[in-house]
Amino acid sequence: MPIADSSAGDLPPEAFRTAAHAAVDWIAEYLEQSAHYPVRSRVQPGDIRAMLPAHPPAQGEPLDAMLQDFHATILPGITHWNHPAFFAYFANSASYPGILGELLTAGLNANGMLWITSPAVTELEQVTLDWLRQLMGLGDGWFGQITDTASVSTFYALAAARERAGYDVRTKGMTARPELPRLRVYCSEHAHSSIDKAVIALGIGHENLVKIPADDQFRMRADALAAAIADDVAAGFKPIAVVPCIGTTSTTSVDPVVEAVRIAREYGCWVHVDAAYGGVAAIVPELRYLLDGVDGADSLVVNPHKWLFTPMDCSVFYTRDPHTVKQAFALLPEYLVTSTPDETINLMDYGIQLGRRFRALKLWMVLRAFGREGLAERIRRHCELAREFAGMVHFEGGWELTAPVTLSLVCFRLVPPGADEDTIARVNAAIMERVNARGHAYLSHTKVAGRYTLRLAIGNIRTDRSHVDVAWRELRGAAAAVQRAE
């Protein structure tokens, strides 16, 4: 029997209450037991789809049927990011306070497009992001807004850089304008692909993203940056932005922000700092130095949904020049005109999206539940675990570290005696695949300076030494098996 009266309205509240209590009980149990699931999903492409009806139901179905299908059909297709032995990419976590915030956000369903459409959405966002700024030890004068991802935050930064360059692209576009020089953007050869996507989407063109070579510790070379900009200016190009990274994706190397700011200033370039993963580490007093120089930049992105225990999605875009960001995006159709004072912040003016989820609530709850010391302690512990794992790799014959351990990521690989690069790549790919297929730990890989490298990234709130030990045991077991088979 369908439980909803088909005539009108939502389900009866009792139906929600029963199902929601069951769901909350399940989540609590899941997070305590997540180590019992295989970390990486074992399904093949199309398996989940094949288990799902091709057509929507004609009549409403009961909520408990959906919860049953969630367990039987959906869960097998989940890779468990909340598993404490998830070490791939950059590990993240949904903490209990963050989940609670998400639930309440869904319940309210407030849309913070304008201040008046939910004053608390705008004001809590401003206050929470100012708290986060203070936690990271940044100076005053930063304006923050929450976006879905670092990719969008970086897109906003480069849109503002293009606006500041002064060619009125906003009005005139970039085509059929012989007077427009080539706009140029600079980042390290190890920078994240989100910068590539932003220059593509903004019409700057992929060819105009200049990838600056890095030093032997994978940091952007300031001398090469200065030379590249000078060459471009001599060629008649227009440098508009430099994007140093604090915590690159492959190795968590840290670009020289102080020098990048100094060089960029000479040419009037916008400086956007990509600290999507690494920025929150500055909450730890002894890691505060990571953000040295950032107060001289124009914008910064950090992702609480990466290493700050906040559920997906929650990225923070800070800028010292909200006026230019606003200039790049603001429009006011009549139906959005309100009578609030001019200085009222309407967040729709600072980006592409109109409607805005109440994402600040979950971040606020995370910051309050753990506090400055609790957050710092957890991030510090992840860095310690990374150093402990690096120690195990370093002292084990046949294995090597391939990058310095700056934060909570370890880059390493097995080097069989006499093996060339191709063999090393093949052996390590086989080791990783074997570990990941067994399901007790999950790692990913990268290539640094042409060298195939495994990555173990620590960042889940439930990860402790026992999970790191499991990963190391799995890796050594897989290495022995792969070498026997060679």
Query: Residues 51 to 80: which contact ligand PLP by CB under 6 A?
Result: none
What pairs with residue 410 in β-bridges?
456
The arrangement of strands across the sheet holding 143-147 comes to: 143-147, 315-319, 299-302, 270-274, 238-243, 183-188, 209-212
The pattern of x and - marking residues 193 through 222 that bind ligand PLP according to CB under 6 A reads -x----------------------------
Stretch of 6-14, 20-28, 148-156, 379-387 lying at the interface with ligand PLP (CB under 6 A): 148-156
Name the E strands within 53-195.
143-147, 183-188
Is position 245 an interface residue for ligand PLP (rule: CB under 6 A)? Answer: yes
444 is a site residue for ligand PLP (CB under 6 A): no
Does 345 bind ligand PLP (CB under 6 A)? Our answer is no
Separation between Cα atoms, residue 307 and residue 309, nearest integer Å = 6
Q: Is residue 149 a contact residue for ligand PLP (CB under 6 A)?
A: yes
> For residue 310, how far is the Cα from the chain centroid?
11
Label the pairing between strands 409-414 and 444-448: unpaired
277 vs 452, beta carbon nearer ligand PLP: 277
Closer of 298 and 474 to ligand PLP (Cβ): 298
274 sits near ligand PLP (criterion: CB under 6 A): yes
Distances (CA, A) of 383 to 86, 280, 441, 459, 464: 15, 12, 18, 9, 11
Task: Name which position in 40, 80, 192, 221 contacts ligand PLP (CB under 6 A).
Answer: 192
Q: Which residues contact 323 (CB under 8 A, 6 or more apart)?
A: none
Binding to ligand PLP in span 391-430, by CB under 6 A: none
With b for 16 or more beta-carbon neighbours within 10 A and e for fewer, the 33-48 pattern comes to ebbebbbbbeeeeeeb
Contact 314, 146 (CB under 8 A): yes
Pick out residues in 100-129 that bind ligand PLP (CB under 6 A): none
**CB under 8 A, 24+ apart: contacts of 197-204:** 197/151, 197/155, 198/151, 198/154, 198/155, 198/157, 198/158, 198/159, 199/158, 201/155, 202/155, 202/158, 202/159, 202/162, 203/169, 203/173, 203/174, 204/158, 204/162, 204/240
Among 85, 113, 150, 212, which residue interacts with ligand PLP (rule: CB under 6 A)? 150
Nearer to ligand PLP, 192 or 378 (CB): 192
User: Considering the complex, what minimum distance in angstroms separates the CB of residue 272 from ligand PLP?
Assistant: 11
Q: Note whether 303 binds ligand PLP by CB under 6 A.
A: yes
SS3 81: coil
Total residues binding ligand PLP (CB under 6 A): 14
Dig out the tokens for 206 from the structure: 């992929």
Can you tell me which of 249, 250, 299, 402 binds ligand PLP, judged by CB under 6 A?
A: 249
- For ligand PLP, which is the closer residue by CB, 192 or 326? 192
Nearer to ligand PLP (CB atom), residue 63 or residue 283? 283
Q: List, in sequence order, every beta strand (DSSP E) within 336-375.
A: none
Which of 142, 143, 277, 399 contacts ligand PLP by CB under 6 A? 277
Is 315 a binder of ligand PLP (CB under 6 A)? yes
Structure tokens of 459? 């960042």
474 counts as binding ligand PLP under rule CB under 6 A: no
Q: Answer yes or no whether residue 255 interacts with ligand PLP by CB under 6 A.
A: no
Instruction: Point out which span in 270-278, 348-356, 364-372, 388-396 binds ligand PLP (CB under 6 A).
Output: 270-278
Least spacing, CB of residue 307 vs ligand PLP, in Å: 9
> Residues interacting with ligand PLP, by CB under 6 A?
90, 149-151, 192, 194, 245, 247, 249, 274, 276-277, 303, 315
